[in-house]
Structure 1
Amino acid sequence: MSTRLPVAGPADVRRYARDLARRHPRMLWSALGLHVLAAAAGLAAPRLLGGLVQAVEDGTTVAHVDRIALLLGGFLVLQTVLTRYARYLSQVLGEQVLAELREDFVENALALPVGTVESAGSGDLLTRTSRDVDQLGWSVRWALPEWTIAVVTAVLTFAAALSVGWWVFLPCLLALPPLVTGLRWYLGRARPGYERESASYSQITTTLAETVEGARTVEALGLGRERVAAADADCAESYAAERYTLRLRTVFFPSMEIAYLLPVVGTLLFGGWLYTRGQVSLAEVTAATLYVQMLIDPVDRLVSILDELQVGAASLARLLGVGQVPDDREVTGAVPVDEKLDAEDVRFSYIEGRDVLHGVDLDVGVGERIAMVGPSGAGKSTLGRLLAGIHPPRTGRVTVGDVGLVELPLDDLRGHVALVTQEHHVFVGTLWENVVLARPGSSLSEIRDALAAVDALEWVDALPDGLDTVVGSGGRALTPAQAQQVALARLVLADPHTLVLDEATSLIDPRAARHLERSLAAVLEGRTVIAIAHRLFSAHDADRVAVVEDGVISEFGSHDDLVAAGGSYAALWESWHGKG
């Protein structure tokens, strides 16, 4: 059962937006100043045209008309130049802000507790990384600059309209009731609607990812129809979410059109009535009507872009929500006195109320080799992850040198305990870069020694470019066994004192795995090793064997003692040895 990552609240989004604005005060105010000047240059036209209409009524000359035309052309050119540089600065600012948003998101995503990522599933995080980042990029690059231009233009145009006369304010009041009513109705529904829409995309991605990753299981168990039905249900929810936001737009935007037209009609009628009474001039009526007419475009853009901003705000809230996941570590600053690993009355559950570990106690000596065996689903891997500090126990403690693993900073923890599983990843880059991830700055001889320790040096030297061979997506494809050897080479370079190996050689041929484990044993001499394996030769070579059944350690002792006891381990050994 997966859980969704949190979503930041409106106050958090506003606070973060203010913080971003404070980081770039000079560029922000420069862009805003240019927008103001560009809008002001555009306000000259109604005044000039109003004066021209009045001049034509009173009688004018061709030269006067030519001068007005030249002035109009000059102001138009000035507005064009100012607008060009204002937009340029806004877009540069938008790119810088977007880069910082991405950096903050990546930092927060990398700081997520592993347990949280696993419980949330990959789909939610992938959707935030891809779709939400793209939508926010569109909002920051285009919607926000355009909205800023519209705000500045609307404010200055309205001020210019009022400068014609106080009476212009009265027709403009006609727009307030439909505007306020429509905005209140829309804004109260848009944010949750777009968040629901984004969440539905996350669920679609999660279901598709699970189906693809488990394709063999789906095929083997004949679960194709069930998976298709799950995908259909996710698509139906996404359709319902998008239909809801579409309904909001189809109601909201037409109602806004009425609000735009009312002031124009009102200004023309009211101004005409005042003109017939001799209280205003024809030039004032013309200028006022043109100014109110000019208000339609910025106000329309304000309302239209508001929809884009709502989408962007919903995406930003989802991205910021990644940083609001509570840390599962309580760093105390305590320093382990030694490398002794202990688990005391450990209980753990993935789902509240359903423990998978039930009061486990484990005492691991420094330098001891422990093998954990047992049936699938018994809790071996879960216990291994707790012993590596991946998950904190629900109750009880897991300590190294009498200090809880979750009390150590991650960088310090990995110097004490490291986990290697059969799940691994080859990053895009050279083989050299992939190996030194564990310890940047490692020398060539150290890298080659690490590869030799995991029996990988021979095939690495056979590559066309050796350690400089590009691997990962788009590069040379490594076999699962080779990728696993790279992961083990990283482990050798990291040089932690305690290792938890969860099926770390499962993808390698059994004979090669046997040789590899013996090679690793020589390299890891003196270190504590906890190996979780189905291949019982690892248990035969271990100092002690822990048999995990139904979330508890049912047997614990040396290989010979457990075989002699005739219990669960003896049965496993007889079954496995007989097959061998």
Structure 2
Amino acid sequence: MSVAEELPTAGVKKTWQVVRECGRGQAGAAWTAVVCLVLSSASVLVVPLLVGQIVDMVTGSGGGRPLGPVAVGALVVTAVGAALAAVGTGRTALVCENVLGRVRERALAVVLSLPLPTVERVGRGTVLSRTVGDVGVASDVARGALPAFLSALLTLLVTGFGLLALDWRLAVAGALALPVWAVATRIYLRRSGPQYAHERTAEARLSQLLLTGISGARTLRALRLEEVHRNGIEERSQAWSTAALRTCVTRIRFSLHLNGAELFGLLAVLLTASALVRAGSLSLGAASAAVLLLMRVFEPVGTLLYLLDEVQCAGAALARLAGIVGSPAGGVEDAARSGRAMPRDSGLTVSGLEFDYGDGRPAVRDVSFRVQPGERVAIVGPSGAGKSTVVGIVTGTHTPSRGTVTLGGVPVQRLDPRATGLVTQESHVFAGSVRDNLSIARPAADETALTAALAQVGAVGWALELPEGLDTVVGRSGRTLSSVQRQQLALARLVLADPPLAVLDEPTAESYGGDRAAVNAAVDAALKGRTGIVVAHRLSDARTADRVLVLDEGRVAAFGTHDELLRDGGLYAELWSTWQASRSHAGHGGA
């Protein structure tokens, strides 16, 4: 399924509709910004006219008026104009940031409501590109380029009126550059819009493939798909480079056309002003003011048209965000949630699963097993055997091409999200306090419930000893937690969420020695009273499970207790023997 099918891009009408909806309540600040920018642009018109008066005074045609007040007036107008421009720019940026903030909130709300299979099909790289990359592009333009763009547009309009007031013939001469500007801009806009949208899409597709390679490196190696994946990255990198180069060439051509238009317009005004001065129809000061005004036009026009580059890029980003906000995906998911149910018990039944990642090679095939309520089952097997794929199907992240998964009689696609809890080896710590990290699982939990959950997984000691207790900020913006503490925090969230089924993907992978014992104890406590699926990299985790599911090349090789599988020989016995030998060789002793 293509990215466009999953996360559409809004058209111009829909984009403006979303912007208007998110801009409600910003009218006062917006009008303040417009008034300040208009007055600032008017100050640009006053200064060249005052300079023209100074020229007339110096050349003796100024009527003998004193020079000082005019010079002081020019300085005052310049200072006031700069102050108004600063206020207008600041208010414009504030309005835009508020609007973008609301657009981002709505986009995130839709993305978070998407079904997990949809997120996997679209790709996390694409989702991140939309909700982070596109917001960043639009925000940068809102803070800098957009205020400058509006100021340049207003300055152009005011300057045109100034030339017209001096002499209509000067305005006509200056306007000779407009057809060149108009044609160049029309060509640029027609080409650059689709090019920028294509460049953003190509970048998102490359990001998705890079993220897939990082997160699925072991699977790619096991299936010998490294070369195929590298070729895919090279292909998408080339596509992105080609798209970026195409937009760069378009910008360079546009720049050459603008420079030619400026030269033509300046030459026309100089010749016209010279003829008018010689004919006595225009003073030298007025001619000087006209040339200064025209040169003042070049700067805002150049700014206006050069910033089309950034505004176009921001427009493409905003359209992609508006496409998410206006997507029916969120409403569809809300409707789906209304028909979801909690299971009648925690018994898990998997029947005839088959799944592939779009390459036609089944990652798992004909996988069937049953987990009794309250039972803990470990999934083991060589790298690439299909362990993570089975877990993805059980948790609803992947949709199988064949087969069914039910929990307590309810198909996994119809399960209430609260029915399943997932803890991965890369336990995420959200930016915020320990309390924030725990409350995500149960927002209504009080202090007693939070403390009890931490105590159950053996984390209450270190948590309460933090400088500010549960209010201590952790994660990237705060205190760094150890791998054991991160895992205990994730397991405490699991306890608070209290799902009937808990899925743990290699929970002890990042722990060693005494730390592993602490994590094992936390896992035992968190799984108490609920059905558990544990993907086991270390076979000691499999030994403590009630039963072990052995996968090999995407199929079920064996299913039974640890002792039964050792007694029967086969793959599990080989894996156990190899693992024991490696531990003995490393000096760790027995299991």
1:306 paired residue number = 308
Q: 1:413 aligns with which of 417, 439, 442?
A: 417
1:88 paired residue number = 90
1:256-271 to 2 correspondence within 5 Å?
Answer: 256-270=258-272
CA contact (8 A) 2:492 2:526 kept: no
1:32 paired residue number = 34
1:248 paired residue number = 250
Alpha carbons of structure 1 residues 279 and 20: separation in structure 2 relative to 1, 3 Å? farther
1:176 paired residue number = 178
1:338 paired residue number = 344
Q: What secondary structure sits across from 1:62 in the alignment?
A: coil
Could you tell me which amino acid in structure 2 is paired with residue 420 of structure 1? V
2:583 paired residue number = none
Rounded to whole Å, the distance in 2 between the matches of 1:56 and 1:470 is 68
CA positional deviation for 1:141:
1.0
1:126-275 to 2 correspondence within 5 Å?
Answer: 133-164=135-166, 166-168=168-170, 170-194=172-196, 243-270=245-272, 273=275
CA positional deviation for 1:424:
1.3
Could you tell me which amino acid in structure 2 is paired with residue 160 of structure 1? G
2:588 paired residue number = none
CA-to-aligned-CA distance 1:258-307 (integer Å, 9 cap, x gap): 21232333234345556777888888766655544432222122122222
CA contact (8 A) 1:372 1:548 kept: yes
Higher mean C-alpha displacement, 205-214 vs 473-482: 205-214
1:491 matched to 2:494? The reply is yes
**TM-score with structure 1 setting the length:** 0.76
Higher mean C-alpha displacement, 509-518 vs 476-485: 509-518
Rounded to whole Å, the distance in 2 between the matches of 1:285 and 1:299 is 21
1:381-396 to 2 correspondence within 5 Å?
Answer: 381-395=388-402
Could you tell me which amino acid in structure 2 is paired with residue 503 of structure 1? E
Alpha carbons of structure 1 residues 124 and 260: separation in structure 2 relative to 1, 3 Å? same
Rounded to whole Å, the distance in 1 between the matches of 2:181 and 2:358 is 48
CA contact (8 A) 1:31 1:86 kept: yes
1:564-575 to 2 correspondence within 5 Å?
Answer: 571-575=570-574
1:378 matched to 2:385? The reply is yes
CA positional deviation for 1:151:
0.7
CA-to-aligned-CA distance 1:520-561 (integer Å, 9 cap, x gap): 5566554333333356676677666555454455666x5499
Higher mean C-alpha displacement, 384-393 vs 187-196: 187-196
Rounded to whole Å, the distance in 1 between the matches of 2:84 and 2:515 is 71
Alpha carbons of structure 1 residues 204 and 516: separation in structure 2 relative to 1, 3 Å? closer
CA positional deviation for 1:149:
0.6
Rounded to whole Å, the distance in 2 between the matches of 1:163 and 1:286 is 14
Alpha carbons of structure 1 residues 320 and 515: separation in structure 2 relative to 1, 3 Å? same
CA positional deviation for 1:148:
0.3
Q: What secondary structure sits across from 2:149 in the alignment?
A: helix
Q: What secondary structure sits across from 1:331 in the alignment?
A: helix
Rounded to whole Å, the distance in 1 between the matches of 2:523 and 2:366 is 32
CA positional deviation for 1:195:
5.2
Alpha carbons of structure 1 residues 424 and 21: separation in structure 2 relative to 1, 3 Å? same
2:505 paired residue number = 502
CA contact (8 A) 1:427 1:434 kept: yes
CA positional deviation for 1:152:
1.0
Higher mean C-alpha displacement, 240-249 vs 174-183: 240-249
1:356 matched to 2:359? The reply is no
CA-to-aligned-CA distance 1:434-463 (integer Å, 9 cap, x gap): 444423454555444434433445666787
Q: 1:532 aligns with which of 535, 538, 549?
A: 535
Rounded to whole Å, the distance in 2 between the matches of 1:123 and 1:68 is 60
Alpha carbons of structure 1 residues 571 and 215: separation in structure 2 relative to 1, 3 Å? closer
Alpha carbons of structure 1 residues 21 and 394: separation in structure 2 relative to 1, 3 Å? same
Q: What secondary structure sits across from 1:63 in the alignment?
A: coil
CA-to-aligned-CA distance 1:361-420 (integer Å, 9 cap, x gap): 555554454444444433332222222223334455544455444345xxx412x11122
CA contact (8 A) 1:112 1:322 kept: no
Could you tell me which amino acid in structure 1 is paired with residue 363 of structure 2? V
Ranges in structure 2 where 5+ consecutive residues have no aligned partner: 581-590
Alpha-carbon RMSD across the aligned residues, in angstroms, is 5.1
Ranges in structure 1 where 5+ consecutive residues have no aligned partner: none
Identity of aligned residues (%): 33
Alpha carbons of structure 1 residues 325 and 210: separation in structure 2 relative to 1, 3 Å? farther
CA contact (8 A) 2:380 2:535 kept: yes
CA-to-aligned-CA distance 1:220-260 (integer Å, 9 cap, x gap): 9xx99999999999887776655544433333223212212
Could you tell me which amino acid in structure 2 is paired with residue 390 of structure 1? T
**TM-score with structure 2 setting the length:** 0.75
CA positional deviation for 1:147:
0.7
